Structures are given as C-alpha cells and as structure tokens.
Amino acid sequence: MLTLLILFPLAAAALALLLPWHRGRSWLLAVSGGLHLLLTGILVSASGVWPGPWIGIDPLSRVVLPVTSLLFFGCSVYAVGYLGLRRDRGNRVIVACLLVFLSAMTLAIAARHLGLLWMAVETTTIASAPLIYYNRNRLSIEATWKYLLLCSVGIALAMLGILFIAYAALVGGGAPVSLQFDTLLAAAAGLSPPWLHAGFVFLLVGFGTKMGLAPLHSWKPDAYGEAPGMVGALLAGGLTSVAFLAILRAVQLMTAAGDGAMARQALLGMGLLSLLLAAVFMVRQPDIKRLLAYSSVEHMGILAIGVGIGGLATFGAMLHLVNNALTKGCLFLSAGNIQRAYDSKRLSEVHGAIATLPVSGSLFLAGFLAITGSPPFGLFISEFTILRGIFASGQGWIGLLMLLLLGMVFIGMGATVLTATQGEPVTLDTAFKDNLLLVASPLVFLLLVLLLGVYLPEPLQTALQEAANLLEVQP
Amino acid sequence: MTDLLLLSVILINFFTLGSARLVACIRAVALQGALLALLPPVSHGLSGHTLLLGGTALLFKGIFIPWLLLRAIREVRIRREMEPFIGFVPTLVLGALVTAGAFVFADFLPLAHQHHAGLFVPTAMATMFSGFLLLITRRKALTQVLGYLMLENGIFIFAVLLAEAMPLAVEAGILLDLLVGIFVMGIVINHISREFSTLNTERLTALKE
C-alpha cells in the first residue's frame, strides 16, 4: 500500500511526459493528487504502527503525510486553473516534476533508513528546481541557481552527518553498523557520543538549510518570490515540513541516546534567530511573496522553538506544523492570483486588492490574520500552546521575547498586507478573473485552519500527542 | 596501494585549485572520481558489493558527470576561469593550509583504532575543504559545480570506510541523485549563459533586500 503510494505518482509522471494533450496533463495532476489523498486517508486511518525495514508509518509520519497530501491535492486542483492561464508556457515538464516531487516527499516521510531519507530529500531538491524556474526569466534563473547550489551543498553536509552517525556506531562498538533507523534507535546508547553529536550538528545544518532556518535561509525569499504561487505553497507548506521531519528524526536519535537536551538547545537557538531575522526583514517589505517567504522562516523558527522547549510546547509545535502548512497554502495561492491579476507582486503596483479581486483579496487578508496567530484561527491555538509550554518550563524571558517578536511580525506584515488589500479598485491590464478552480483550494485551506481553531477533532489530537510523545519519552 | 590512491586524490585537489583552464579542471575531477571508484575494491577486497559500488561510481563520477559538464561548456564556449575572487596562488596556499590542518585535526579525532594510521579521514577532510574553497572563491557557475563535486568526492571517501552501513541500493540511489543533480545544474548553466551571456555568477544579484 505504502509502496503504491510512492510509486504511482512516478508512473503518472511518466504518463504526463508522454501525453500529448495540455488539458489532459493538468487533470492527470489533479486526479493523481486526489488518489494520493484517498490512499493516504485509508493508510493513516488504519490503526497501529508498522515500521518496515525500509519504509513504514510511525506517529510522526502519520501527522506529516496527510498534511502534505492534502496540500498537494489542493495545489493540484488550483494547478488545473493556473496552467490553463499559462498555456504558452506548456505544462509537460512542470506536471511531471510536480508528480516526482510528490513521490519524493512521500518517500522521505515514510523512510525508515537514513540513507533512503537522504536520497528522497535530495530528489525533492532536484525535482523542485525546474518548478522554481517555471517563469524562465533572469530573476527565476538566479533564484533557481541559488536554491540548487545552496540546498545541494546543505544536503551534502547532511550526508556527512549521516555517515558520522554510522561511524558513531562503528567506534562505539556496542551497536551493529547500520543506518536502519529502528536499529539505530534500539542501539542508541551504544553510539560514540562525540561522533553522534557531530552527526547531529551536520544533520541540523543540512536539513536546516532545506527547511530554511536562519542563518541558512538565504535562498528562501528568492526561490519563493520567483516561483509560481502553487510551487511556493508546496515548498513552504510541504517541503519545509518534510525537512523538519528529517531534523526530528535526528532529535529522536539524540533523545534515545540520552543527549536530547543538547539537541533541544541547538533547535531553540536557531529557532529564536529565525524569528528575529524574519521579523526584521518583514518590516517595510515591499514584495508580497518575499514577505510570505520571511513569514515561512518565522514559522520554521516557531516550530524549532516548540520542539526546543519540549513538553507541552512539542504538542503545540506538531499542531503548528499542520496549521502552518494549510495557511501557507491559502496565502501563496491567493498571492499567486493577485500577482497574475496585477502582473506584479510589488506594493508599488498592488493596492486595492479586495475591491479589485473580491475573493482572492479577502482570502489574502484573512490568510494574513490566520498566519499571524489572530483568534479564532488554528495558529492562535498552536502558538498559544507553545507559549504556555515556554512559560510552564520556567523560561519566561524566551516567552516574552517570542511575544515581542510576534507582535513585531504582526505590525510589519500588517503594513504590507493592508497596503496591498485596502484602497480603491484598480483597472487591470490583464484579463484575469477569480474563478472557482483558482479560489476553491485556498478557501478550503482557510476554512480548515478556522475549524482547527474552534474545534480539534479527537483522532487528530491523539495523532499529534503520539507524535509529540515520540520526541519526549525515551523508548 | 590505498595510500597511493589517496595521495593522488590530494594532488588532484591542488591541481584543480591552481588551474585556470576549465577543461583541465573537469578532467582532473573526473580522474579523481575514477580513482575513488577503485577505493572500495582496493581497501575492502574484491566482492560483489565493492565491485558494484566501484563500477557505479566509475560510471557516474568518472564518465557520465564529466561528459555532461564538458558538453555544457562546449555549448557556452568558455574555457578559462578569469579573475577569481581570490587569486590562484593564494587559493593554493589556503589549500595547503587546510590540507595540513586536516592531517593535524585527524590526529585529535576519536577514530576507531583501525583507522588511526590510515590516510582515509584526513584525505576525506582535505578534499571536502578544497571543494568548499572552490565553491567560495570562484565566480564561474561551472567551477562552483566542480567544487560541489569535490565536496561529494570527499564525502565518498568517508563513506568507503562505512561500506557495510550503506546497502548497495541506497549507495546507487545517492550516486544517481548526484548525476541527475549535475544534469539539472548543467541545464541551468546553459540558461544562465544564454540569458546573461556570461557564466559569472556575480551577475546574479538582482534578488536582494
């Protein structure tokens, strides 16, 4: 079943390359997204944990997999409308790359072998590079080159980290030299501490580059700014969650080896730095998509802080991961619509979006309220849970600092978003109009985030709690 | 025999750091990849695993990737690395310093006792550092790719120490990822040269705050 989930998008990608029919390829993407979501639903609702030697589902993947799948399905429905607008660009390559990207993300989420995990994450980098280059202009080349080179080098360092962990098993002597994750967890106490620590640091740096934690985030504003809106949504909501999952695997290993405290300190430091840098760069940001990219850096920082604090905050971070992915989906897709309509993403041209594009403009404004943690949206609950966790752990100054920075983000982001959405309607040069395909997905994402803010379903709560326990309790 | 291989790898590091001719640099890195492909059978003895690993590495690192890169520069007609950020002689000196540093540093590492005397760990570190130097000091997109490849080569040396931890399928997948990655980078290089009529990455500065 799980194997099917990973392999069928690849088959669909091959089909997309062969199919000589523009609209057919777009729909193939949406149908594959729907099938993936359906299979994921069946797979995740089956109770019990079944880790295999290579791939398997554990509580952490049970949280990340449905979110990624749902986000992809939403983006694939949007893509049918979007690719229809851009017939001149052709969609053969982008559809195939999106499907390979889906397959690689699924493999990374399900991987139970560190080598396999690495391979899948590197494949996501390669498959998403052509997606960022979709617009084929000077700016998108620059963004693609930075993304490709920085992430490849980052991921190469993660490989070194993985090798260090294998070497820790070799030097420690007590453990079999294997990179199978369950074997490693079981033998974690026998790993040689210096090599394990070095391995963790390299994994954090490597996958942290991919996740976009400061100070390794420099590719992010460029890539998110130049990529089409739906690609931005998939990168900011899906890929970052997958990279975070990879870091959590390393945290799991460190916790099992009894060095969880060190791992948490490192995450906490990087998280605070991300929040700080993002807040600084969001003030007076004149570009709405770069603004969203810094918002992504900010939320990766919040996730890292949540896990760094531990306890209740870890649960908050798991919930935050779900909320962040869905809200980023809403924001990037509606920002994509605004960009298409105004043929610009800079504040000098974009204003009066609500009057001009009632649905997309309102969605963008509502998405802004959601992402900055205003009640009654889900992010209010998750950020509040993380803050409660911080104050309960007795590190009040971190909580105060975080509150201060969140306030700064709200003001900085608000200034840009309000300028873009409020004001008199503008006569547009483009023929763009909101239509059902282009607004349905962001609307559904936003409603889900709203729902999560009012009511947290029992099964989801259990799943999040189990995932958080995996990072807390020593097995 | 192993030591001889590893020493030639270090010499190739220096050659690449000091050479301005792109074709020569690509050939040197290809030779380095091919030498590294000999490493698994030579150090672990002949077996199905080591032969297959060496064969795949030879095919990808020694043949396919250099061929892709040579094709990329044939199309853009650029032969020399001009005006690097740091001159060739200073880069060589830096290269020598980091190599010496790698040898000193390796002595302090808590290595398994069978690796204490060998050249594996210092060579791996020296090659990774040289790759980083290339990445940082050069302007041409192509030389940066070579730096990335050299970094990967250094990691490969370290991986050979742990051949039993990496199943062959995973190892092959990693090499395939590398190959496809270089292929995509080659395409991007091509587009850079078409759009900007140069391979110099300092022209890629439109995106900033």
Chain A to chain B Cβ contacts (< 8 Å): 114
Name the nearest CA neighbour of A109 among A40, A76, A60, A146. Answer: A60
Distance CA A438, CA A453 (A): 24
- A23-48 pLDDT, tens digit per residue, is 999 999 999 999 999 999 999 887 66
Which residues face A180 on adjacent strands?
A113
Q: Which chain B residues are Cβ-neighbours of A125 within 8 angstroms?
A: 181
| Residue whose pair of structure tokens reads 């089409």 in the numeric block | A228
Q: What is the mean pLDDT of residues B98-125?
A: 89
Q: Which chain B residues are Cβ-neighbours of A122 within 8 angstroms?
A: 174, 177, 181
Torsions phi, psi for A351 (to 5 deg):
-155, 160
Q: Are A365 and A322 in contact (CB under 8 A)?
A: no
How far is CA A34 from each of CA A31, A59, A69, A127, A231, rounded to the nearest angstrom? 5, 23, 9, 20, 17
By Cβ distance, the residue of B155, B165, B207 closest to A177 is: B165
Look at B162 and A281 and tell me if their CB atoms are within 8 Å: no
Look at A163 and B181 and tell me if their CB atoms are within 8 Å: no
Q: Are B110 and A194 in contact (CB under 8 A)?
A: yes
Q: What is the mean pLDDT of residues B141-149?
A: 92
Q: Which chain A residues are Cβ-neighbours of B195 within 8 angstroms?
A: 137-138, 141
The answer to whether A139 contacts chain B (CB < 8 Å) is: yes
Distance CA A455, CA A469 (A): 22
Neighbours of A358 (CB within 10 A): 13
Nearest chain A residue to B154 by CA: give it.
A160
Distance CA B187, CA A152 (A): 15
Q: What is the mean pLDDT of residues A242-271?
A: 94
Look at A119 and B173 and tell me if their CB atoms are within 8 Å: yes
The answer to whether B116 contacts chain A (CB < 8 Å) is: no
Torsions phi, psi for A427 (to 5 deg):
-80, 125
Q: Which chain A residues are Cβ-neighbours of B207 within 8 angstroms?
A: 139, 142-143, 146, 221-222, 225-226
The encoded tokens of residue A457 equal: 């379903």
Distance CA A204, CA A300 (A): 13
Interacting residues of A404 by C-beta distance below 8 A, sequence separation 6+: none
Q: What letter would DSSP give residue B163?
A: T
Look at B112 and A170 and tell me if their CB atoms are within 8 Å: yes
- The mean-pLDDT minimum among A95-109, A255-269, A365-379, A425-439 falls in A425-439
| Residue whose pair of structure tokens reads 């949540």 in the numeric block | A306
Task: State the pTM of this model.
Answer: 0.95
How far is CA A348 from each of CA A342, A420, B50, rounded to the nearest angstrom? 11, 9, 61
Name the nearest CA neighbour of B188 among B37, B25, B63, B75. Answer: B75
The encoded tokens of residue A99 equal: 């499907």
The answer to whether B45 contacts chain A (CB < 8 Å) is: no
Torsions phi, psi for A111 (to 5 deg):
-60, 135
Nearest chain A residue to B172 by CA: give it.
A119
Look at A163 and B155 and tell me if their CB atoms are within 8 Å: yes
The encoded tokens of residue A16 equal: 């997309």
Distance CA A7, CA A17 (A): 16
The answer to whether B173 contacts chain A (CB < 8 Å) is: yes
Neighbours of B116 (CB within 10 A): 11
Q: What is the mean pLDDT of residues A357-384?
A: 95
Look at B159 and A225 and tell me if their CB atoms are within 8 Å: no
Q: Which chain B residues are Cβ-neighbours of A177 within 8 angstroms?
A: 162, 164-165
pLDDT category at A371 given cuts 50, 70, 90 is: very high
By Cβ distance, the residue of A113, A171, A225 closest to B207 is: A225
pLDDT category at A474 given cuts 50, 70, 90 is: low
Write the ipTM: 0.94
pLDDT category at B111 given cuts 50, 70, 90 is: confident
DSSP string, B82-148: -S-SS-HHHHHHHHHHHHHHHHHHHHHS---GGGSSSSHHHHHHHHHHHHHHHHHH--BHHHHHHHH
Cα torsion through A320, A162, B156, B48, rounded to 10: -120
- A313-336 pLDDT, tens digit per residue, is 999 999 999 999 999 999 999 999
- A298-313 pLDDT, tens digit per residue, is 999 999 999 999 889 9
Nearest chain B residue to A113 by CA: give it.
B170
Q: What is the mean pLDDT of residues A450-467?
A: 94
Residue B44 confidence (pLDDT):
86
Print the SS3 string covering A266-318.
HHHHHHHHHHHHHHHHHCCCCEHHHHHHHHHHHHHHHHHHHHHHCCHHHHHHH
The encoded tokens of residue A414 equal: 């608000």
- B38-89 pLDDT, tens digit per residue, is 999 998 888 888 899 999 999 999 999 999 999 888 877 766 766 678 888 8
Print the SS3 string covering chain A.
CHHHHHHHHHHHHHHHHHCCCHHHHHHHHHHHHHHHHHHHHHHHHCCCCEECCCEEECHHHHHHHHHHHHHHHHHHHHHHHHHHHCHHHCCHHHHHHHHHHHHHHHHHHHECEHHHHHHHHHHHHHHHHHHHHHHCCHHHHHHHHHHHHHHHHHHHHHHHHHHHHHHHHHHHCCCCCCCEHHHHHHCHHHCCHHHHHHHHHHHHHHHHHHHCCCCCCCCHHHHHHHCCHHHHHHHHHHHHHHHHHHHHHHHHHHHHCCCHHHHHHHHHHHHHHHHHHHHHHHCCCCEHHHHHHHHHHHHHHHHHHHHHHCCHHHHHHHHHHHHHHHHHHHHHHHHHHHHHHHCCCECCCCCCHHHHCHHHHHHHHHHHHHHCCCCCCHHHHHHHHHHHHHHHCCCHHHHHHHHHHHHHHHHHHHHHHHHHHCCCCCCCCCCCCCCHHHHHHHHHHHHHHHHHHHCCCHHHHHHHHHHHHHHHCCC
Angle at B64 between CA B38 and CA A155, to 5 degrees: 80
Nearest chain B residue to A129 by CA: give it.
B184
Name the nearest CA neighbour of A236 among A215, A213, A211. Answer: A211
A positions 90-129 inside 8 Å of B (CB): 113, 115-116, 118-119, 122-123, 125-126, 129
By Cβ distance, the residue of A122, A136, A160 closest to B177 is: A122
Torsions phi, psi for B140 (to 5 deg):
-70, 135
- The mean-pLDDT minimum among A15-29, A42-56, A109-123, A422-436 falls in A42-56
Look at A177 and B164 and tell me if their CB atoms are within 8 Å: yes
The nearest CA of chain A is from the CA of B180 a distance in Å of: 7
Q: Are A46 and A33 in contact (CB under 8 A)?
A: no
- The mean-pLDDT minimum among A362-366, A470-474, B125-129, B131-135 falls in A470-474
Angle at A400 between CA A398 and CA A405, to 5 degrees: 95
Residue A155 confidence (pLDDT):
94
The encoded tokens of residue A320 equal: 């935050």
Look at B174 and A169 and tell me if their CB atoms are within 8 Å: no
A positions 171-210 inside 8 Å of B (CB): 171, 177-179, 192, 194-195
Residue A475 confidence (pLDDT):
41
Nearest chain B residue to A125 by CA: give it.
B181
Distance CA A6, CA A8 (A): 6
Name the nearest CA neighbour of A85 among A329, A437, A364, A335. Answer: A437
